[in-house]
Amino acid sequence: MTEQVTRATFDEVMVPNYAPSAVIPVRGEGSRVWDKEGKEYIDFAGGIAVTALGHSHPTLVNVVREQAGQLWHLANVMTNEPALRLAKKLTEKTFADRVFFCNSGGEANEAAFKLARRYAFDHFGPEKNEIVAFNKSFHGRTLFTVSVGGQPKYKEGFEPTPGGIGHCDYNNIEQLKALISDKTCAVVMEPIQGEGGIIPADLEFAKQVRELCDQHKALLVFDEVQSGVGRTGTLFAYEQLGVTPDVLTSAKALGNGFPVGAMLATKDVAASLAIGTHGSTYGGNPMACAIAEAVVDIIDTPEVLNGVNKRHDLFVAGLTAINEKYHVFKDIRGMGLLVGAEVTDSFKGNAKAFLTEATKEGLFVLVAGADVVRFAPSLIIPEEDIAEGFVRLERAVAKVVADNKTA
């Protein structure tokens, strides 16, 4: 018999690290989701840039069914065909020659940071071990990744954290110059900061980061966990920056909701993760790789990628129209379908209010920090769902504005 559970059950049985909304969705199709009571929601959140092909995509459902009937898992004492096919595709489509599979963005970054240290150790000795990263960046929740991440609150109380890590401001080349040295083994950056507030890298900055890395023989690691797999209108965002990293991490949209992560690297760099240096029990299992292969096949087509840019314009237009009426946003920015709307000073620290009201109106949105409302919908969200979503968002904004006046 199935036990009856409600939102209240969460507080009874779950570790209290999340504060989930009262809504418990039970079914999704495309960019629409329904809860137990049958209430419908439009999904402008995409499970935080994960469900890039929406919910229950028919091709993916078939792939899951077929693979589930064939083979789930073997352990890495053997390889498998889906993993080999996926790795082949990823290397053909990117700068990379080698791939390591894991199960999440944090794990992909953990592998990348370990590889950077190990590569420097192999080629330059143990002194070259420092990692430079950026303030406000987000790279995951393991102890190493919160340490490289630029948000001190995620480290608080978990010390001692790994050392040899420095931070400076994003898009500030002078600060980076002051921090980088011949002891730096890697510079880690998101081509567009996601959790930090949807902040794209300046093209000139990205170019100079690459030059500084070359000058100091440091690896350039791009964290594309959020920006990758079509999110910005190209398979990976680095293609638009005109800068090629040495190591790149991917997860989130790669599995469309099925856990999978990947670290991509050049052949020379990858060689430092020699036999026995690193591993993962589930990493590269046939189930996850079969799904990711289908995701990449569908997304890396002109049809889907061009559609991302078209939908970007629709999102910017929708947000601009609401803003002309209600004056709640001081900046609307982003790349592709990773769009942020920074709230004006009257709503400073309270972007969450827009999320809360939107949910009540039947719309999922996200925040990125305390001041930015974030949108990361399916890359193939139907235009009528975008239109209906903005009708609901306008109602939510009107309520937030009214509440703000009476407060």
Ligand X SMILES: *Cc1c(COP(=O)(O)O)cnc(C)c1O
Q: Given the rule CB under 6 A, which residues bind ligand X?
A: 104-106, 109, 138-140, 190, 194-195, 223, 225-226, 251-252
> Which amino acid type is present at position 27?
R
β-bridge mates for residue 250, sequence order: 262
Rounded Cα–Cα distance for residues 242 and 142 (Å): 30
Are the beta carbons of 247 and 219 closer than 8 angstroms? yes
Are the beta carbons of 338 and 227 closer than 8 angstroms? yes
β-bridge mates for residue 42, sequence order: 32, 363
> Nearer Cβ to ligand X, position 130 or 223?
223
> Nearer Cβ to ligand X, position 144 or 347?
144
* Residue 67 marked as a ligand binder: no
* Residue 224 marked as a ligand binder: yes
* Residue 138 marked as a ligand binder: yes
* Residue 281 marked as a ligand binder: yes
Question: Whose CB is nearest to ligand X?
Answer: 105
* Residue 395 marked as a ligand binder: no
> Nearer Cβ to ligand X, position 41 or 258?
258
Distance in Å, CB of 182 to ligand X, minimum: 27
> Nearer Cβ to ligand X, position 118 or 139?
139
* Residue 226 marked as a ligand binder: yes
Give every strand in the sheet of 372-375, ordered side by side.
Answer: 329-335, 338-343, 372-375, 366-367
> Nearer Cβ to ligand X, position 43 or 195?
195
Distance in Å, CB of 336 to ligand X, minimum: 14
Distance in Å, CB of 309 to ligand X, minimum: 21
**Binding annotation for N(2)-acetyl-L-ornithine:** 141, 280
**Binding annotation for pyridoxal 5'-phosphate:** 138, 223-226, 281
